[in-house]
Amino acid sequence: MYPLKFKPILKERLWGGKKLKTVLGKSIESDITGESWEISGVEGDISVVANGDLAGTSLKQLIDEHAENLLGKSVVERFGKEFPILIKFIDAKQDLSVQLHPNDKLAKERHNSFGKTEMWYVMDADDDASLIVGFNRDVSKEEYAESLKKDTLLDLLNYEKVDSGDTFFINTGKVHAIGAGVLLAEIQQTSDVTYRIFDFNRKDKDGNLRELHTEQALDAIDYKKKDDFKVDYTSRMNVVNTMVDCPYFKTDYLHLTENWLEDLTDRDSFTIFMCVNGTAQISNENGTADIKKGESLLVPAFSNSISIKTESAELLVVTI
């Protein structure tokens, strides 16, 4: 197996826009495309290979037939034949709903699913664009519930102004929302379990308010004010800069201005590259694939080395 590219799974959203097309070059006709699922093992949205001899093969079939070679032995021991992360690009023309995700324990009990720890890397942001991350002070469950009744929840939330390159780590239980004008790369546990707690009283195309998960969220929220979300990372060129290293994934920032060779003999995991700027050509022993801004690819775990040819590329490098 060579470096694998997958067909983007495009999702229209009430809050979506045009930046996946205009900034990232996706082939999109809709004006409200909010998400491009780049590599997905979510049931009903399984990625399909787009390049080379394996084109047309689903990620599920690849895992069924080549689990350890594709994912890595240690990954299979932890997650079985489930692909453990979901890779996306997200364009918010409007504010997303305020939401949170349950932890592994709650998600397993209620939904037979993983929880959803995630991270965001801001690729583009309009002037004064912001995110909601957590509360602006400690809040009790009772105070939170009262704010929903009085429609004053927004007064309790923490707003973070953002610029390109800003990176955020979102623990389970943390209330959050991507603000209007933000285009970002998202890396998360494989899960589509979301508790929506506030949606700005918007109506969908049929004139209906979207469902809120008020009761489910009450026991899933972290009500404490915590300044643990902004990721402080170095951005030195031509070296590995660690961004996030959590139990579910590890993400490095790699800004290359020259060719790169990496020995993988000690890595027992697949490697995903998300290109957030520039272009590159990525190879393993079995083949080569080109990648440009707004594209992603997966290098199988059996690979002994990766070589990258580039004059300039900024890459998020994701492993387990």
Active site residues: 196
Phi-psi region of 56 (alpha: psi -120 to 50; beta: other; left: phi over 0): left
Tell whether 118 is in a known binding site: yes
Produce one character per residue of 38-57: b if its CB has 16 or more CB atoms within 10 Å, e if not.
Answer: bbbbbeeebbbbbbbeeeeb
The strand pairing partners of 160, in sequence order, are 131
Kind and range of the H or E run holding 83: none
Residue 123 vs residues 19, 90, 182, 185, 194: alpha-carbon distances, Å: 11, 10, 8, 7, 23
CA distance 189 to 86: 6
Strands 45-46 and 41-42, by their bridges, are: antiparallel
Buried b (16+ CB within 10 A) or exposed e, 264-299: beebbbbbbbbbbebebebbbeeeebebebbbbbbb
Return d(Cα 165, Cα 36) in angstroms, integer: 19
176 marked as part of a ligand binding site: yes
User: How is residue 24 written in tokens?
Assistant: 């990232």
Terminal-residue alpha carbon distance, the chain: 19
**φ and ψ of 146, to 5 deg:** -65, -35
Q: How many Å apart are CA 157 and CA 154, to the nearest integer?
A: 5
Residues tagged in the binding site annotation for Zn(2+): 101, 118, 176
- Binding-site sequence positions: 101, 118, 176
